[in-house]
Amino acid sequence: MSMGDTIKSFAIALGFDIDKASFNDGKKTLDDYENAVKAAQKRIDDALWEEAKTEEQIAKLSRETALKEAKQALSDAQAREKLEKEAAHKRDERNKAFVAGVEKMALAATAAATAITYAVTRVAGAFDHLGFVSARTGASVQSLNSLGYAFKQTGGTAEQAVSAVESFTKAMRENSGVKGFVAGLGVDMDKDKVDQLLDTVRILQTHGYDSGSREAGLAGISEETYALLVKYIDQIDRYRAEYDNLTKSLGVNSKEATEASMAFQRSLTRLQATASALGDKLIVSLAPAIQRIVDRFQDWIRSNPQKVEHIMDGISKALVWVVDKIGALIESVTGSNGDEFIKKWDAFSERAERLATAVERIAKASSQVSSLLDKFNSVEVSGAGSLSTWLLEKMGLMPAGSSGGVRNGVSFDEQRERAAEDQPGMFRRAARAVKRAFSGGSADAHGGDGGLPAEDDGTITTHGHRWKPGANSAGGKERVASWLKFFQAPVSDGGMGADLETSRAMVAMMQGESTANLDPTIKGDLDPSGRPTSFGTAQWHAERFTQLKAFAARMGTDWTDVGAQQQFLRDEFLRGRYRGVWNQIKGAATGEDKLRAGIDGYENPKFKQKAYDFRLPNLHALRRSGAGVAPAEAASSSITVPPSSTMRGLPNMTPGGFDPNRIDPSNVMQPAPVGASPVTNNTTSSSNKAVHQTFNNNTTIHEARNAKEAGRTMTDVFDRMHGLALENAQTAVI
């Protein structure tokens, strides 16, 4: 930097305003001054050289001149180096910025390409799937898309919408009776299948929810889908129209998009197959090269035995070192000859033995306390029933006056149970604990180790719970007898038509839900907020409890009524979703098998084995007590439903006056005559309650290995034919 530049920078740093003209003038003056100084210096140097006479003076001047030139050269070199470093630094910064920009651009491009590829593949796959669904169902891709959009807007999913259409069309494909049923409702069968589905739901919702949901089930429409469609049918129509208008405004052609997507998917499949074939070819091509590498390695091992031995020797020494260290560690723990280890083990054994002794003492104390509580419970207080009931009253865990036997037709045992259920939080838990201690608890499935044999007093220990199975109140015994009679009464008289062992198994199962007393008002399965979610003798849950309340209301009574609960359970087993389960229960060989079939198919608890273990003692108790009615009495039994003065009649499950309770299975399921052919329904009007079917079936079995095999095959054929007959009978007259 020249002196002028230095002065300029200094002046600006001090705050002076340097204009260009003044600066140029000042610079010219400084340059002139600098040149004058250099000329004066040159004249001095020349004079010194002229005056130099001796060799010493000349040498001195030479050294001074060389030193000046060297300093100047060094200064120039440092200035150039500084400039070069600054230039290199600027180039590096520019390169880094450029590379960073390129990397960001490449990353963004990769992300965009990935997103686009995923989106294209996903959309193409969706259209490809809908193309096949459209081919199977007969619904257009546009209508499937619009229904999926409407489902998503009303709380469902597009997959649920497509599944509903598939199930609906599958039911009509598999059973011509279902197709006739849908057509008989007045649905236009020439419409798109989506429109047929929605029209069917519109008509069925006029029949009432209970009847409509059952009829929808015959048409392949699940209860969940039916509920969504009934609740949002108008909104679904509006959202479908909204989707159609949107695609129309955008110029989207669903049919063309589907065809293009299907072609795109097939191209991708071919590309994947090509890539797979290329991979196989690559492996085949690389195999010889890999083999050569392996061969060379083996040749090296054979050619260098000393090196291999050296390597193995090093590994062996390392292993020996590790073993020595482990041995030293063990020696430090066990001491000499293992004496220290034995001492420590003996000390541990002594502590474990003391712990076991303490646990045994606690168990004995618990048994003594339990025996004491049993004796305490057997003490009667004059005019107040058992001492336990009197104590619960005094503790405030049971309403005053509950003791003393029966009050308002309810025994004190039932009063104690209900009072315990009504107590909040800590009081409820305390009451339940006292109830379990005094009366043995309920048969709820608390989990455990199996039903152990009863003790002399009938007490059972199951999964750590000590209790006495069997109803222990007058009302409970009456309800057990009522349910046993209900299960054994003929179907035509409002019962279930079951044998004695099936009836006992069913009662034992329900005692695990609503205590041994079969309390019809019991509430269980508390949610996190403490509210019950299951109700009644069979602990009906969620929508099934809602259906129970509606069923009882149509009978003119409350859901807690035993008769209403019996008829609702009968409806579930004989006409509802549990028909197959009921057949499995009746067909089981033993009472234990029947109990397990009921738990697995009807109750469906989380821990099925534990539930079975806890309910099995109930079955044993029913057998020991001889509970149930004789076969002759069961054949003539009839079930008493709620009084006629408060009942509006059994619920009519289908519109048009058709009553499934009056179907005679013996007439509907007559065996096929010889030389007959497939089942057909004769046409009936909506006002005719008669169902007539003609069986035409001709079955020939060729090359059966034995008569038993031929009999099984013939049984399967007739079972399928009679199953179709029953399904047609249910849908022919609506």
Check residue 685 and give its pLDDT.
41
pLDDT at 382 over 70: no
Which of 171-175, 329-333, 419-423, 632-636 is predicted least confidently? 419-423
Mark which of 590, 619, 646 sits at the end of a domain: 646
CB 536 within 8 A of CB 559: yes
Packing angle of the helix pair 579-587, 562-574 (nearest 10 deg): 90
Residues 543-558, mean pLDDT to the nearest whole number: 93
Whether 235 maps to a domain, the answer reads: yes
- pLDDT, residue 519, reads 93
What pLDDT does residue 338 have?
A: 58
Sign of the dihedral defined by the CA atoms of residues 402, 407, 413, 419, in that order: negative
pLDDT tens per residue, range 452-500: 555 556 677 676 566 667 777 888 899 999 999 999 999 988 899 999 9
Residue ending a domain, among 613, 646, 679, is: 646
Higher local confidence (pLDDT), 168 or 699:
168
161: CB partners within 8 A, 6+ apart: 144, 147, 148, 150, 151
Is-contact 480 504, C-beta < 8 A? no
Ranking 17-31, 351-365, 445-459, 694-708 by mean pLDDT, the lowest is: 445-459
Q: Do 488 and 609 fall into the same domain?
A: yes
Q: Residue 546: pLDDT above 50?
A: yes
Residue with tokens 């197709």: 179
Range with the lowest mean pLDDT among 11-20, 50-59, 639-648? 639-648
Cβ-based neighbours of 73, under 8 Å, separated by 6 or more:
none
Condensed to tens digits (0 to 9), the pLDDT of residues 81-127 reads 888 888 888 888 877 777 777 667 767 666 665 555 555 555 555 55
Residues 618 and 681 in one domain: no
pLDDT for the residue 634: 61
In this structure, are 177 and 145 located in the same domain? yes
Tokens 């397990």 correspond to 596
> For the chain, how many helices (H) and strands (E)?
25, 9
> Which helix H or strand E contains 467, and what residues bound it?
strand 465-467
Domain shared by 579 and 493, yes or no: yes
Among the ranges given (237-246, 373-382, 490-499), the one the predictor scored with the smallest mean pLDDT: 373-382
Greater confidence, 347 or 496? 496
Please report whether residue 259 resides in a domain. Answer: no
Residue 637's pLDDT is what? Answer: 60
- Statement: residue 505 has pLDDT above 60: yes
268, part of any domain = no
β-bridge partners, 524: 534
Amino acid letter, 367: S
As for how many domains the chain has, the answer is 4
Within-domain flag for 550: yes
Q: What is the pLDDT of residue 545?
A: 94
Q: Which residues form the domain of 558? A: 479-646
- 565 to 235, 482, 515, 551, 710: CA distances (angstroms): 36, 12, 16, 9, 44
Identify the pLDDT of residue 293: 86
Specify whether 723 is located in the same domain as 577.
Answer: no
Decide if 269 is inside a domain.
no
User: Domain check: are 640 and 665 in the same one?
Assistant: no
Secondary structure (H, E, C), 586-653: HHCCCHHHHHHHHHHHHHCCCCHHHHHHHHHHHHHHHHHHCCCCCHHHHHCCCCCCCCHHHCCCCCCC
> What residues contact residue 453 under an 8 Å CB cut-off, 6+ apart?
none
List the one residue out of 530, 560, 384, 524 whose CA is nearest residue 442.
Answer: 524
Kindly state whether residue 472 falls inside one of the protein's structural domains: no
pLDDT at 549 over 60: yes
Q: What is the pLDDT of residue 553?
A: 93
| Residues 615 and 706 grouped into a single domain | no
Average pLDDT of every residue of the chain: 74
Confidence of residue 647 (pLDDT cuts 50, 70, 90): very low
Q: Which of 11-15, 50-54, 354-358, 627-631 has the highest mean pLDDT?
A: 354-358
Domain boundary among the residues 624, 646, 668 is at 646
Whether 347 is in a domain gets the answer no
Q: How confident is the model at residue 730 (pLDDT cuts 50, 70, 90)?
A: low
CB 503 within 8 A of CB 611: no
Compute the average pLDDT of residues 427-445: 43
